[in-house]
Amino acid sequence: MSAEDLRAEYLASGSGDSPRDSGRLDLIRGVLADEATWVEPPPQVVDALLAAVAREGSSSIKDPAAVGRARWPVVAAAVGSVAAVVALVFSTMSVLEADKEIVVAMTGTEIERGAGGQAAVGPSGSGWWIRLDATGLPPAPEGSFYEGWVWSDEGDGVSIGTFHLRGGDTPVTLWSGVEMAEYPSIWVTLEQEDDGPEASDLVVMTGRMPDA
Amino acid sequence: MDREVLERFRIGDEAAVKAVYDRFGGSVFALSMSILGEHGLAADATQQTFIKAWRAASTYDPERSFAPWIYAIARRTAIDMYRKQIRVVLSDEIEVAVYPPGLETAWEVFEVRSALDLLPDEERQVVKLSHFDGFTHIEISEQLDIPVGTVKSRSHRAHQRLVELLRHVEEA
């Protein structure tokens, strides 16, 4: 029926019934029947895009891996020995490169003691996806939102996306463009919409990639 | 796209970026899915495409059509990502030009999805139920709990609009 509708309108539009026209029609029919044509992008894509744009302003994004890089404002970094860092990087990368999910336990801080859950981390074509499945984390109040971060032991925080949970929409998928082995800590902060791009000090959940 | 929005996009306005995403996010995602075939990768490719477009916005000429411009960025991004994935499988010593299987119809997927996103929701729904799910008009009327005549009129209007919007799509 749909094919007849399409063909009828196609002919009515003035297109002919030549092999070439039939080919065009078949092509359109094929695309309409393809699942790829109908799938919707996950909402986290636009959230992450707008977060990146907001962070960087209109003038100076240069390096994809640097999008959203921010100095963590409150927590002091504990830098281990060079050997320990190297060991951590290699051991974590070896697991991630095996294309397996890493599950990180997430725990609530004093601000949200009842929060918990887990973050599954896996490699994607351009970085790492982080699927956060949070429990006990209330929806962010109007005018605020949650922001995910990965954080290096040297004290650099990189935003991995925002969400608010007001639609009850867990789990949320975030995205990191930096190496998880170098940014092994995962944090969730509560941010106010009027605040700047820096992470707030309202850390509500934390977790850390396993050493091996 | 509204010319004013494109002008604002060109100078990097954030609200305009959102407006452009609302219009072309589905098309870029569909294109990425057709090339990469995997939801997570397509999401990454879509995000990268819009970030690249935003970065390069100052090079966009508002006198020219926007769709082919962002299509070119999306196609390039998805191909690059596909090749990175393939490289994991192939030996590092083998460097060959690898083209993904969905590339031949990438433009059509982009254009058809762009056209679908311009249809009213109720017409788009009828097109999906008939072409993708394979339902007849009667089955659609039962599914949506509306008269068959309404299904037919929506289908007629939807296909009329689609044909008009896709008039320029050439056979591959």
pLDDT at position A78, please? 29
* Residues of chain B contacting residue A49, judged by C-beta atoms under 8 Å apart: 17, 21, 47, 50-51, 54
* pLDDT at residue A170 in the model: 66
Nearest by CB to residue A53, choosing from B17, B105, B170, is B17
pTM: 0.56
- Residue B61 and residue B18 share a domain: yes
Sort strands A116-124 and A127-135 into parallel, antiparallel or unpaired: antiparallel
Tell if the CB–CB gap between A37 and B113 is shorter than 8 Å.
yes
Nearest Cα of chain B lies from the Cα of A23 at a distance, in angstroms, of: 6
Residue A169's pLDDT is 60
Question: Is there a single domain that holds both residue B125 and residue B167?
Answer: yes
Which residue blocks in B56-105 are alpha helix, DSSP H? 66-89
What ipTM does the predicted assembly reach? 0.82
- DSSP annotation of B129 reads I
B92 and B142 within one domain = no
Residue B32 has pLDDT above 80, yes or no: yes
**Domain's final residue, options B73, B101, B129:** B101
Number of compact structural domains in chain B: 2
B24 has pLDDT over 50: yes
The pLDDT score that the predictor gives to residue A21 is 63
Please check whether the domain covering A43-208 is classified as CATH 3.40.50: no
Check pLDDT > 50 for residue B51.
yes
B164 and B86 belong to one structural domain = no
Output the pLDDT for position B144. Answer: 92
Q: Is residue B114 part of a domain?
A: no
B92 shares a domain with B126: no
Domain membership of residue B107 (yes or no) is: no
pLDDT tens digit sequence for A155-201:
888 888 778 887 766 678 787 877 888 889 999 999 887 776 678 88
Order of strands, sheet of A127-135, starting from the edge strand that comes earlier in the sequence: A69-71, A156-163, A144-151, A185-192, A203-208, A102-108, A116-124, A127-135, A172-176
In this structure, are residues A148 and A162 in contact, taking their beta carbons and an 8 Å threshold?
A: yes
Looking at the structure, do residues B9 and B74 belong to the same domain, yes or no? yes
Residues B128 and B91 in one domain: no
Residue B109 lies in a domain: no
Q: Is there a single domain that holds both residue B42 and residue B125?
A: no
Distance between CA atoms of residues B61 and A180, nearest Å: 38
pLDDT per residue over B93-147, tens digit each?
444 545 666 777 888 899 999 999 999 999 999 999 999 999 999 999 998 999 9
Instruction: Please tell me if residue B25 touches chain A, with a CB cutoff of 8 Å.
Output: yes
Any A CB within 8 A of B85 CB = yes
* Residues of chain A scoring pLDDT < 70: 1-22, 55-100, 125-126, 168-170, 196-197, 212
Residues of each domain in chain A carrying CATH 2.60.40:
43-208
Evaluate whether residue B130 is within a structural domain. yes
Domain extent for B137: 119-172
By Cβ distance, the residue of B116, B132, B160 closest to A9 is: B160
**Both B21 and B80 in a single domain?**
yes
- Residues B93 and B132 grouped into a single domain: no
The closest of A190, A187, A202 to A156, measured between CA atoms, is: A187
| CATH number of domain containing B167 | 1.10.10.10
Q: State the best of B131, B137, B151, B164 to mutate against chain A, taking most chain A CBs within 10 Å.
A: B131
pLDDT for res B138: 93
Q: Which of B101, B131, B149 is the last residue of a domain?
A: B101
Query: Which of B18, B44, B54 is closest, CB to CB, to A124?
Result: B44
Q: What angle do CA A145, A186, A96 make, to 5 degrees?
A: 130
